[in-house]
Amino acid sequence: MADHSRLDRAMGRVVSTLGRLRWPVVGLWIVLLAVAGVVGGPLPTLLSGGGWNVPGSESDTVNIALRHGFVARGETNITVVVHDQWYASNQPGFEKRAARIIDEVAATKELEVTSRLGYASTTGPVRAEFVGQDGSTSLEVLGLGADDGMARQFLPRLQHDLAAEYAPEGLDVSLVGSASFWGEVNALSESGLAHAEMLTLPLILLVLLALYGGLVAALVSLSVGVTSILGSFAVLAVIARQTELSLFVQNTATMLGLGVGVDYSLFLISRFKEELAKGRTVDEALAVTLKTSGETVIFSGITIIAAMSTLFLVPLGVITSIALGAVIVVAFSIITSVLLLPVLLRILGHKINAGRVPWRGRRPAVPGAPRRGVRWDLIAERVMKYPLVFLGAALVLLVGVALPAKDLTTFTPDAGIVPTSSPIRQGFDRMQSEFGTGSTSPINVLVTSSTPLDTPEASAAVVKLEQHLSDLASVDRVDSAVPALKGVSPTAPLAALQPAVRDQLPPDVKALVGHYVSDDAHRLVLDVVATGRASDQSTRDLLADTQEAAASAGIPGATVQVGGETAEGVASNTLISDNLPRVIGVMLVVIYLLLLFTFRSVLLPLKAILMNLLSVGATFGILVLVFQKGLGSSLLGVEGPADIQNFIPILLLALLFSLSTDYEVFLLGRVREEFVKTGDNTQSVARGVASTAPLISGAALLMVVVFGGFAFAGILPMKQLGFGMAVAIAIDATLVRLVIVPASMRLLGRWNWWMPGRGIPGPQAAQPVVVVPVVPVVPVAPVAPVAPEPVADAFGVSVESPEPVRVLTEEDLSAEWVMEVSELRTVRSRR
């Protein structure tokens, strides 16, 4: 009792302080919002498409080595793909038209082209290698001096200008490469984010209007979400200027900012309205709200932050970026909810109910009101009447839905996530069809020697390795300098790399050789072109075979390493899978301990974890059905089956465990409260479900709307994340909370609350009571009330004194009064 009294006084002081400083706080908030808008505005231009490489991995080493010392390989590379609809390569006009475009791109100052190789810069037999099978497509590879960030920002604009300029002339121009691809993804991410916001914000407002019954409360809720997003964008922009952050962090922060921020405001505003409806003053209602729902919000935020922080155990840029964004936006949601929102509620007071929507009538919208709780109560009672049947059916359904998850395959994003209407996607597709499916993402086999590779022994070993690679399954061809060098030195091709010979090579051949052999002849690359895409299983199998061949190459004094897009994707997948047990282990321990200390129960945290695992499995199964199998994917705007992006499963896991734990705490906290009072397990569960289901359902509906908006309007990775979270939240708020929780708790009975060394909680032993019997009285005239005097209440706030003492009438004494002496509670009767 003393602890509660101290907490009440502390809350009173907080409310009193907020009341005095409310206008300075609002003014400061407006200023900070303006600053955040300015600082966070450039965030999209600061984000990177990188973060997929594993530092220190073999693929990363190869990628770095290929940036210097080769022709048409630079800090970043692009391939200019030109398709002529009017002319073929054997017609006079073709060369002039293609060369004009390629030369224009190569001369673009912003790209800082350092070297080039392709149709426009070669002649004769060498040029033929850069003409597609249709005879109407040509390409040129450009090595750029511009850094990847600059290229990503500039290339989408250049692509748009080229397409608009040359389309009327029957020329399709595309810029193919990592920088152009991620630049396009960045642009699509921004437009998708705008579309998602346009789709979700009106829907969120409608849901809030239905939940609150008033416009003012709905707008206040939205302000919490928007504030959280703007604040997190500002912090992320500052961080992005110092280190690389993935472009997906912006979408994730927006998604969570809207979902979590609005959800938190729902908890607080609903409780505030409820307390006002009970007749409390504004200050009293606000103090009770902060003491109850405020604590829930803080606990919820800490849970999410703790769960998302486990992702920092995976040293992959894209995952740590998203985890950082999630932690920052949730932290802002907590701060906004417990500092700014109370100030707004203090200012608005009873006006929080203003702007009532017509369909809600005059009845106050208070989640958990008795009339709403009736149907939830009946559902819980029906489930607990046949617990084995309902629990068995729910488990069978979840396990059945989870079965497709065994086929889940993940990989890094590729050109398939870009719509087919994009010129860059068209360039990727055309290059694959005309030059080989694997031409856009060859497997790079890098041979590195401390001495020049121009010896007969090295030549023989490299030729043997090239032949071995060509004979592997799923290989279309191997591109290298060997065929060109054989024209100069048939028996020992690499002998032509000796400076005296190499300098005398024809310019075209010299440039071609320079694309595969470094200037000092210490490094040589063989590009293995697969018959499938980088993410295809056949290409992954080919990568393993290539790595085996490289390990046994036996080139004297040289090391052989394998890189490329497929190697990078496999390395990141391996890194995630290797660290996944640690992430899951730490996350489960954190969540178990949080629930253990919250409920003082051994079994309830285990039950919660098992339910979450079932929900995650079902969600993964549905993801596989929709995105990998293509079941209904067209409804989401997805163009055919696609792999699950490799960061999605682990991110879903962390988010679902943290968010579902919030609902679990909210529900079980009320169930425990009822059980302590009554000792009746079944009745306590029914009442707990009935009192929390409206608010949990409302919060879940908001989450589903937010995440679902990104499933319909975002790019593929965000579609998968948004869809997965919407499905997971829907499963958790319905099948888990309304069926599995009541059924399992009914079966466990009093063991729900078992804790070694502690007794199972229940109603207090019968305490002595003082019964005031009903006695006849003679009614008398009421005494005139005494004018109330201001006094300080338990919250330290000056309020009017309680109702004056009056003489009891016969009506007042028509029922017995019971006073529990142990708790010294006085029951007052009011007319």
Q: What pLDDT sits at residue 617? A: 94
Residue 759 — very low, low, confident or very high, per pLDDT cuts 50/70/90?
Answer: low
Could you tell me the sign of the dihedral formed by the alpha carbons of 384, 385, 387, 391, in that order?
negative
- Rounded to a whole number of angstroms, the CA Rg of the chain reads 34
Asked whether the beta carbons of 174 and 427 are under 8 A apart, the reply is yes
- Tokens 């280190």: give the residue: 243
H-assigned helices in 447-522: 456-470, 482-486, 499-502, 507-516
Percent of the chain with pLDDT over 70: 87
Lowest mean pLDDT among 265-269, 461-465, 748-752: 748-752
Q: Is the pTM of this model over 0.75?
A: yes
Q: What pLDDT sits at residue 566? A: 94
Task: Name residues whose C-beta falls within 8 Å of residue 378's C-beta, 6 or more positions apart in sequence.
Answer: none
Q: What pLDDT sits at residue 829? A: 36
215, pLDDT greater than 50:
yes
Q: How many whole angstroms separate alpha carbon 173 and alpha carbon 164?
A: 9
Q: What pLDDT sits at residue 728? A: 93
Q: What pLDDT sits at residue 693? A: 84
Residue 16 — very low, low, confident or very high, per pLDDT cuts 50/70/90?
Answer: low
Q: Of 128, 105, 185, which Cα lies nearest the Cα of 416?
A: 185
Which has more confidence, 292 or 88? 88
Asked whether the beta carbons of 284 and 214 are under 8 A apart, the reply is no
- The b/e string for 680-703 (b: 16+ C-beta within 10 A; e otherwise) is ebbbbbbbbbbbbbbbbbbbbbbb
Q: What pLDDT sits at residue 22? A: 74
Residue 71 — very low, low, confident or very high, per pLDDT cuts 50/70/90?
Answer: very high
User: pLDDT tens digits for 451-482?
Assistant: 999 999 999 999 999 999 999 999 999 999 99
Residue type, 357: V
Asked whether the beta carbons of 55 and 254 are under 8 A apart, the reply is no
Residue 567 — very low, low, confident or very high, per pLDDT cuts 50/70/90?
Answer: very high
755-774: average pLDDT: 54
Average pLDDT taken over every residue of the chain: 84
User: pLDDT tens digits for 323-351?
Assistant: 999 999 999 999 999 888 998 998 999 99
Residue 753 — very low, low, confident or very high, per pLDDT cuts 50/70/90?
Answer: confident
Q: How many whole angstroms separate alpha carbon 189 and alpha carbon 196?
A: 10
User: pLDDT tens digits for 26-69?
Assistant: 888 899 889 999 999 899 888 887 788 898 899 999 999 999 99
Asked whether the beta carbons of 366 and 718 are under 8 A apart, the reply is no
**The pair of three-digit structure tokens given for residue 582, joined into one six-digit string:** 């640690």
Phi, psi of 527 (to 5 degrees): -95, 110
Q: Of 719, 739, 36, 98, which Cα lies nearest the Cα of 388?
A: 739
Lowest mean pLDDT among 534-548, 611-625, 775-789: 775-789
Which has more confidence, 233 or 758? 233
Q: What pLDDT sits at residue 394? A: 94
**The pair of three-digit structure tokens given for residue 742, joined into one six-digit string:** 């009541």
Q: What pLDDT sits at residue 18? A: 67
Q: What pLDDT sits at residue 438? A: 94
Q: What pLDDT sits at residue 675? A: 82
Residue type, 630: G
Q: What pLDDT sits at residue 373? A: 41
Report helix, strand or coil for 752.
helix
Q: Would you say how long the chain is, in residues?
A: 831
Lowest mean pLDDT among 608-622, 773-787, 811-825: 811-825
539, pLDDT greater than 50:
yes
Residue 360 — very low, low, confident or very high, per pLDDT cuts 50/70/90?
Answer: low
Q: What pLDDT sits at residue 774? A: 42
821, pLDDT greater than 50:
no
Q: What pLDDT sits at residue 15? A: 63
Which has more confidence, 283 or 11? 283
705-716: average pLDDT: 86
Q: What pLDDT sits at residue 782? A: 47
Residue 768 — very low, low, confident or very high, per pLDDT cuts 50/70/90?
Answer: very low
Maximum average pLDDT range among 352-356, 806-810, 827-831:
352-356
Asked whether the beta carbons of 703 and 263 are under 8 A apart, the reply is yes
Lowest mean pLDDT among 147-151, 158-162, 476-480, 826-830: 826-830
5, pLDDT greater than 90:
no
